[in-house]
Structure 1
Amino acid sequence: MQPFKAAMLSVREAFYAAFLRSLLRTKSLLQTILNIWIGPRKLAKEPDAHSEGSSTQDGVEVLSQTKRREVADFVEEVARLFRDPTSRQNLVALSDGLKTQFEESLVDNAQCMLPSYQHQLPTGDECGTYLALDVGGSTFRVALIELAGRGSESKVVRRSTIKIDATIKNLQGAAFFDWMAERIEDTISGQSEGHELNSAPLPMGLAWSFPIEQTSLRSGLVLGMGKNFMAAHGLIGQDLGDLIQNACSRKNLNVSLQAIVNDSSACLLASAFTSHTPPTRLSLILGTGCNAAVHLPVSSFSPQKFGIRPSSWHSAATHVIVNTELSMFGGHLLPFTRWDRQLLVKHPRPDFQPLEYFVGGGYLGEIVRLVLIEAIETTGIFGGIVPAGLEEPYSLDTEIVSRIEADTTANLTPSLTLFTNLYPTSYVYTHLDLSTLRHLASHVIHRATAMIATGLYTLYLLRASTSSSIPAKMQIAYNGSVMEQYPGFQELAQHHLELLVGSKGVLTLVPADDSSLLGAAVAVACLDPDEVIKDL
């Protein structure tokens, strides 16, 4: 009877620990009862001839070897669901479906495959001083850039990075653009000797990370900005270029806005300027969200996709940089798991950006969180109870997951410390807990790298099918926190590209540092002089 009494004592200890934890988490009485009678029974097994036994730690039972095998079974299932769709056969089938969606959007889609007004690519000979602006979701960057041609080193003469906090986001209408003009004035005033502005207006380019209906290279109608910005209030349909230019004029700034590009186009331009061989004809932005730009023949599009443009533009343009809005593709094609569907159930726009939900930094952590919660509830890791705070949607940030995946120490002490600080509990997290989390995350990330590589590969095929000639090798410029900072992401994406192409060196992912600022400057620098006069 002694073993039975010991087991009952273990159950009782687990009972009290679970009860206290449940009360501390302010759960309902019903949930408390469920946690008491279901959780500990699941964790505390009565020893038998086939069990290696278990011990208790702070009243919570440590996993036995039998339980570890159950964890392994769950991880194996996750691996199968996330990795099986990344075989070459499955990725080629996905690519075929994406290519059909791309081709249809070249004909008729008001949201995707949007031809910009930027049809010139840099020659590499561009020189001069330009003011570059980059308006993003959390920062406003201003830089005075001296381009010295591809063979020489271009310089950032002055640079300012200003955080856009809630106060700035709440500025309505012209007040936001006046704030921009003030920051521009701060940057270009008091320049160091040798960089004084002459009497000619300083040419200015803008990388704008929000939707606009572009009407010329330096003009576009303001649309809703999102991300809690109030700047568009009362200005919907007004010209963005005029709003910025007028705000600068009110500050007596001797500047002239000549080009507006989105961040993906800026990335392509920046890389095309700095490197000629192999050429850059594709670019990727992959951070919180994702997008891509591609250089396509004008003849690829139906006439209505260009809207109303002057005949001079059509006469000059043979190719055009295209804002693909890549995030919006993939609906009904992507390999959804039950965790993806859980994410979409609570998403306000579940069909809006299918691919982004698979690859964007705003969602990767959430998918990992959903997988982890099921692992906790079904295998008993993390003490069998979801830590306080982790049950909240989007409470596991992709950056945190990346730091845990980057932890290669034998005992995972940095990860254990990080997780304990983020989700404190009486339960002491173990090496098994964090190593399981790392394995689960690796499978989610593996799929993401395959999906984004397939999207890029399909854009490459689209360009090949619409162009009379295509380079034997091509660079794909990239920018964004996921591509740049998530451990191993770029290398895995490159692996999948080579798997799809069938050889190395055909498509190469290359970083494009400071691409928004440099690309905005290059967009102005490579303009035909006649076009500059018409746009001013």
Structure 2
Amino acid sequence: MQPFIAAMSKVRQAFFAAIIRSLLRTKSLLQTILNIWISPSIIKGENVEASTNGGATTSLRNGRKTGRDDFLEMVEQAFRPASSRKRLGELSEGLRKQFLESMEDNPLCMLPSYNHQLPSGDERGTFLALDVGGSTFRVALIELSGRDAGAGQEGRILKGATFKINHGVKQLKGVLFFDWMAERIEETLSGHTGGHDMSDAPLSMGLAWSFPIEQTSLRSGLLQGMGKFFLAADGLLGHDLGDLIQASCSHRGLNVHLNAIVNDSSATLLSKAYSDPTTRFALILGTGVNAAIHLPVHTFAPPKFGTRPEEWHRCAEHVIVNTELSMFGAGILPSTIWDNELRSVHPNPTFQPLEHFVSGGYLGEIVRLVLVDGIHTAGLFGGVVPPTLRESYSLETETISYMESDRSENLSKATAIFTSRHPRPSSSPPSLSDIQAVRTIASLVSTRASALVATGVHALWCLRNESESIAAHQTEHTLVAYNGSVLENYPNFKSNCQGFLDQLVEGSGGRRGVVELIYAEESSLLGAAVAGAVAALDVDDVVTGRLEGVAW
């Protein structure tokens, strides 16, 4: 009988907690009564993820006023514990377990590509690289000179062009979009082929494609919906992307051959691996987040590879894996009330848990939610929310990045950028303490993000060590190639990330600096060219990967 009574008690507590959550956002008399009579322990138990941050933030939702310093202290108590080495170590282990589970049967992440060869560094010649993104199409003729050419000289762009993908281009339906691509390729190649005789063997071409496809070989994949208002897939869903591009190029008389299709994370890994053979990871952090890793084939359950030719399985000992890192972390990430609020109105709150904590698409919004709370409860900005800040996602990550970069005593640049984008109803500018508060909040949010990104990399490093049977103290220097606007431009983000990564590696028995974040310049284009170089000239060789280098 006792277990039954205990179980019913828990049910009642959960029921009352649900009622309380819906009422705590109001400042009614009923809320005040509930605050007096309901146990705070029930309220604090409303979210498992948030429990690691204690009850410091709970008072910010119960209608109480607080001072500026007290408010900022509560914000720090909410975010700072997430960056402790103990907490990050636990999170890393949780992520590693989620990776392993996804390597068994998850169709959405830990996806083995068809790229099973890293470049030898001896690939030489002239290659055509294409990079199709959400707003630009880039074409480049790239000369690969080999790893022994010297640092920075391994690959250079002989000729390149960037074309804006405006609304009109996005509205091109079906093959018209690929015809537009072919026309831009012809325009770029006109009068310059890097010494390659276009009447001779086809010019090898690699493609970095930033949209979903169901890849079926190194050079082919089934086209899926592109989103972002693109109509290229209209009437072509399930058609082979490689064949579509090849046909459009052939119609214009272009003597080119598409040999490889890669996503942005794989391209980044390949681009840096061409110049440094210790590269085994890639990290992308801009509007979104993703990572690639080079892993042994045997660590995956056979269904993860789908239907592939036997030749591929005979040759492939390792494979480049698109992790879709953004999708991990469900149930184990250190949420605050503001993270919960962000997700509560998100159209797909559980699809990309990690991305909501770390990416440029969300950092500004988390800061906005905290700041609006501070305006209401602590009187920041005179207790008046600037009209633009009432709109979701109106505080851009770029804005808080500029504000954090201002190290001056009077924060004049930070004040100018904030007031120009978020003017107050009155003509008086925000006080210095208001701008300092914004910078403090932004710093706490961005530091936590850098810690969580480092933890994701550490979890992948541990996964690779385990899959390769490498003891942490035996590991040699390993590179993580990175790019993306947050890692490249947000002040101190990369250095903070490296610092947290060093702590985690040391805590795992490794050495500081053994895992190093290195910027991969022009990674999409160079990676596409390298992928094309590593690939074979015909379909059979694409499958078996016999070609070590292409020389024109």
Alignment match, 1:61: none
CA contact (8 A) 2:287 2:360 kept: yes
CA contact (8 A) 2:103 2:299 kept: yes
Alignment match, 1:209: 210
Please give the per-residue CA displacement for 1:86-114, whole angstroms capped at 9, x wherever unaligned.
Answer: 11111111111111110011111000000
Alignment match, 1:522: 530
Deviation at 1:120, TM superposition (A): 0.5
TM-score (structure 2 length as normaliser): 0.82
Deviation at 1:528, TM superposition (A): 5.1
| CA distance in 2 between partners of 1:528 and 1:256 (Å) | 10
Deviation at 1:160, TM superposition (A): 0.6
Secondary structure at the aligned position of 1:390 is classed as: helix
Please tell me whether Structure 1 or Structure 2 has the larger radius of gyration of its CA atoms: 1
Q: 2:94 aligns with which of 74, 77, 97?
A: 97
Alignment match, 1:347: 346
Please give the per-residue CA displacement for 1:483-516, whole angstroms capped at 9, x wherever unaligned.
Answer: 0000000000001101101131211000001000
Secondary structure at the aligned position of 2:388 is classed as: coil
CA contact (8 A) 2:535 2:542 kept: no
Please give the per-residue CA displacement for 1:257-311, whole angstroms capped at 9, x wherever unaligned.
Answer: 00000000000001101123xx010110000001000000000001111011111
CA contact (8 A) 1:361 1:398 kept: yes
Alignment match, 1:472: 476
| CA distance in 1 between partners of 2:411 and 2:528 (Å) | 43
- Call closer, same or farther: CA 1:304–1:385 in 2, change over 3 Å: same
CA contact (8 A) 2:67 2:379 kept: no
CA contact (8 A) 2:66 2:377 kept: no
Alignment match, 1:19: none
Alignment match, 2:324: 325
| CA distance in 1 between partners of 2:445 and 2:143 (Å) | 42
Deviation at 1:468, TM superposition (A): 3.8
| CA distance in 2 between partners of 1:431 and 1:199 (Å) | 67
Pairing of 1:40-51 with structure 2 (within 5 A) = none
Higher mean alpha-carbon deviation, 512-521 vs 526-535, is at 526-535
What letter is aligned with 1:200? A
| CA distance in 1 between partners of 2:419 and 2:386 (Å) | 10
Deviation at 1:532, TM superposition (A): 5.9
Alignment match, 2:443: 442
Pairing of 1:171-182 with structure 2 (within 5 A) = 171-182=172-183
Alignment match, 1:312: 311
Secondary structure at the aligned position of 1:190 is classed as: coil
Deviation at 1:197, TM superposition (A): 3.4
Cα RMSD of the aligned pairs, angstroms, is 1.8
| CA distance in 2 between partners of 1:93 and 1:507 (Å) | 19
Alignment match, 2:185: 184
CA contact (8 A) 1:140 1:163 kept: yes
Alignment match, 2:126: 129
| CA distance in 1 between partners of 2:247 and 2:208 (Å) | 18
TM-score (structure 1 length as normaliser): 0.85
Pairing of 1:107-506 with structure 2 (within 5 A) = 107-152=104-149, 153=153, 154-191=155-192, 194=195, 197-276=198-277, 279-425=278-424, 426=426, 427-469=428-470, 471-502=475-506, 503-506=511-514
Secondary structure at the aligned position of 1:151 is classed as: helix
Deviation at 1:77, TM superposition (A): 1.2
Gaps of 5+ in 2: 1-27, 29-64, 545-552
Alignment match, 1:88: 85
| CA distance in 2 between partners of 1:117 and 1:390 (Å) | 45
Secondary structure at the aligned position of 2:147 is classed as: coil
What letter is aligned with 1:254? N
Secondary structure at the aligned position of 1:478 is classed as: strand
| CA distance in 2 between partners of 1:212 and 1:407 (Å) | 42
Secondary structure at the aligned position of 1:513 is classed as: coil
CA contact (8 A) 1:258 1:532 kept: no
What letter is aligned with 2:517? L
Please give the per-residue CA displacement for 1:187-237, whole angstroms capped at 9, x wherever unaligned.
Answer: 111217846535211110000111111000000011111222221122111
What letter is aligned with 1:504? R
Please give the per-residue CA displacement for 1:112-139, whole angstroms capped at 9, x wherever unaligned.
Answer: 0000000000111110110000111111
How many residues align structurally? Answer: 468
Secondary structure at the aligned position of 2:402 is classed as: helix
| CA distance in 1 between partners of 2:524 and 2:166 (Å) | 20
- Call closer, same or farther: CA 1:193–1:506 in 2, change over 3 Å: closer
| CA distance in 1 between partners of 2:211 and 2:502 (Å) | 33
| CA distance in 2 between partners of 1:481 and 1:125 (Å) | 31
Higher mean alpha-carbon deviation, 501-510 vs 520-529, is at 520-529
What letter is aligned with 2:69? A
What letter is aligned with 1:519? G
Q: Deviation above 6 Å: which 4+ runs of structure 1?
A: none
- State, as a whole percentage, how many aligned pairs show the same letter: 56
| CA distance in 1 between partners of 2:463 and 2:407 (Å) | 40
What letter is aligned with 1:454? T
| CA distance in 1 between partners of 2:335 and 2:255 (Å) | 53
Please give the per-residue CA displacement for 1:434-454, whole angstroms capped at 9, x wherever unaligned.
Answer: 111000000000110011111
Secondary structure at the aligned position of 1:389 is classed as: helix
| CA distance in 2 between partners of 1:529 and 1:295 (Å) | 24
What letter is aligned with 1:325? E
CA contact (8 A) 1:494 1:508 kept: yes
Secondary structure at the aligned position of 2:429 is classed as: coil
CA contact (8 A) 2:127 2:529 kept: yes
| CA distance in 2 between partners of 1:251 and 1:535 (Å) | 27
Deviation at 1:171, TM superposition (A): 1.6
Deviation at 1:150, TM superposition (A): 0.9
What letter is aligned with 2:183? E
| CA distance in 2 between partners of 1:424 and 1:298 (Å) | 55
| CA distance in 1 between partners of 2:478 and 2:404 (Å) | 31
Secondary structure at the aligned position of 2:71 is classed as: helix
| CA distance in 2 between partners of 1:531 and 1:173 (Å) | 25
| CA distance in 1 between partners of 2:243 and 2:517 (Å) | 37
What letter is aligned with 2:159? R
Alignment match, 2:23: none
Gaps of 5+ in 1: 1-33, 35-67
Q: 1:106 aligns with which of 103, 106, 109?
A: 103
